[in-house]
Amino acid sequence: MDKTPQTLPRQSWTFSNEVNSEIRRAAATGIYDIRGGGAKRRVPHFDDLLFLGASISRYPLEGYRERCDTSVVLGTRFAKKPIELKIPVTIAGMSFGALSAHAKEALGRGATLAGTSTTTGDGGMTNEERGHSEKLVYQYLPSRYGMNPDDLRRADAIEVVVGQGAKPGGGGMLLGQKITERVAGMRDLPIGIDQRSACRHPDWTGPDDLEIKILELREITGWEKPIYVKIGGARPYYDTALAVKAGADVVVLDGMQGGTAATQDVFIENVGQPTLACIRPAVQALHDLGMHREVQLVVSGGIRSGADMAKALALGADAVAIGTAALVALGDNDPKWEEEYRKLGTTTGAYDDWHEGRDPAGITTQDPELMKRLDPVAAGRRLRNYLNVMTLECQTIARACGKSHVHNLEPEDLCALTMEAAAMARVPLAGTDWWPGKPGF
């Protein structure tokens, strides 16, 4: 007898298995999900932009023979000692504490070999990273963990962190497992307790106060160091303009794909703007103040390749910064640890519980046994190689567009594949001379 035809079981798009698993997890534990990394949802990104390249109307430069410069100077506005980098890609702030000492050392080694800077994080400056980083940016954060005038003076630049792309307007939480004796000592905290980070600085609020804070930092360091101001991608036009008005030498703009050591998943996925959408408003603010290229703009959040770098520069950035990509270059989420990722209930590429301190790759951990898995010398070489590849890729594209310096890339060298990207990057949809919001249409 024929069976009655049956409808196939149908999963809800709204209540997917993934959504339901999170509801069950929340119901069982009573706490939001905390994780590391940046936004995982798909957002319009640099992939949605293409370079036009040269042909007859424009002339390309010969690869490998004709020079395409990549150097960048950060902090030319007020600082007596600006930072000169060989390549326009820097290592974003990641704390000792979130990362192991070996990982920080590897970042310093790789960046120094490639001719660029690294950045401290929320936890102070270690001798390892100062020793291994030729150029080191010292972050000035709400927690002020480990903050002291000696480290301020031995830094090459100071980055006042107002926000991060992963969590504009948010603080942080580092769970007790990673607050080991050394981490606790640097942060003046008891060992093993959860570390709660404030969302605002303890002694200033707003741009009018920030101006005075920057004055103090300059007075303490003799007006030598470039002062960066780092903002999360929230209201990039206003925030960039206000950072400039407050006296910043450099604005660091971090879009929502930018990572973090540990924050609520709901925050990472639902607050802030995609990196692609942040650049043009920030550049517009610099233009409106007559400060484009006078105050340098460093863009971060989801930068992965020389193509991403070239596109960010074309949209008006002076340099980019990488965090997550640098960790991957060191060995984060490497498939060779797949068996151990599975034991943790995850898989290669998806591991993001950086705050729990059980990283099989030995990078986001303070466990002495796990830390040993990362050889800082070899990992530093991998980072150097990766930075070199990014730079070569960026030069390849710049030469193809006829540029003898990567900073000469322009928005007009780009077209967009999607309406969204065209609107956000304010470049024409491929094959047209139009983008949504373009004046005159």
Partner 1 sequence: MQVLDLSKTDLREVNATLQAQRADTNQTEWVIENPRGSHAVAVGLDAPISVTVKGSTGYYCAGMNKLATIHVEGSAGPGVAENMMSGTVIVEGDASQYAGATGRGGLLNIKGNASSRCGISMKGIDIVVHGSIGHMSAFMAQKGNLVVLGDAGDALGDSLYEARLFVRGTVKSLGADCIEKEMRHEHLALLAELLERTGADAKPEEFRRYGSARKLYNFNIDHADAY
Partner 2 sequence: MCGIVGLFLKKEALRPRLGDMLTDMLITMTDRGPDSAGIAIYGEESGKLKITVQSDTPAADFAGLDLALGEALGAPVAMRVVDTHAVLNVPLDAEAPALAFLDKRGVRVMGVGESMEIFKEVGLPKDVAARFGIRAMGGSHGIGHTRMATESAVTTLGAHPFSTAGDQCLVHNGSLSNHNDMRRRLARKGIYTKTENDTEVGAAYISSRIAEGATLGEALEGTLKDLDGFFTFVTGTKTGFGVVRDPVACKPAVMAETDDYVAFASEYRAFADLPGIETARVWEPEPATVYFWER
The CB-of-238 to partner 2 minimum distance in angstroms stands at 5
Q: x/- site string to partner 1, residues 20 to 59, per CB under 8 A? A: ---------xxx----------------------------
Instruction: State which of residues 206, 335, 368, 437 lies at the interface with partner 2 (CB under 8 A).
Output: 206
Half-sphere exposure of 321 (CA within 13 A, CB side): 30
- Yes or no: say if 373 and 362 are a contact pair by the CB < 8 Å rule: yes
The CB-of-400 to partner 1 minimum distance in angstroms stands at 48
Query: Taking CB under 8 A as the rule, does residue 220 contact partner 1?
Result: yes
Rounded to a whole number of angstroms, the distance between the first and last alpha carbons of the chain is: 65
Cα separation, 176 vs 181, whole angstroms: 11
Instruction: State which of residues 175, 344, 392, 430 lies at the interface with partner 1 (CB under 8 A).
Output: 175
Q: How far is CA 364 from the centre of its chain?
A: 16
Rounded (to 5) percent helix, strand, coil in the chain: 40, 15, 50
Query: Taking CB under 8 A as the rule, does residue 245 contact partner 2?
Result: yes
The CB-of-264 to partner 2 minimum distance in angstroms stands at 20
Query: Taking CB under 8 A as the rule, does residue 194 contact partner 1?
Result: yes
The CB-of-143 to partner 2 minimum distance in angstroms stands at 17
Query: Taking CB under 8 A as the rule, does residue 185 contact partner 2?
Result: no
Lookup result for tokens 């408003």: 281
Measured N-to-C along each axis, helices 101-114 and 376-400 cross at an angle, to the nearest 10 degrees, of 40
Q: How many helices (H) and strands (E) does the chain have?
A: 15, 16
Residue 417 partner contact from partner 2, partner 1, none using kind-dependent CB cut-offs of 5 to 8 Å: none
The CB-of-124 to partner 1 minimum distance in angstroms stands at 11
Tokens of 435: 């983008």
Query: Taking CB under 8 A as the rule, does residue 193 contact partner 1?
Result: yes
The CB-of-229 to partner 1 minimum distance in angstroms stands at 17
Cα separation, 232 vs 272, whole angstroms: 7
Cα separation, 21 vs 212, whole angstroms: 48
Residues contributing to the site for partner 1 (CB under 8 A): 29-31, 143-144, 147-149, 152, 175-176, 187-190, 192-194, 196, 198, 202-204, 209, 212-213, 215-216, 219-223
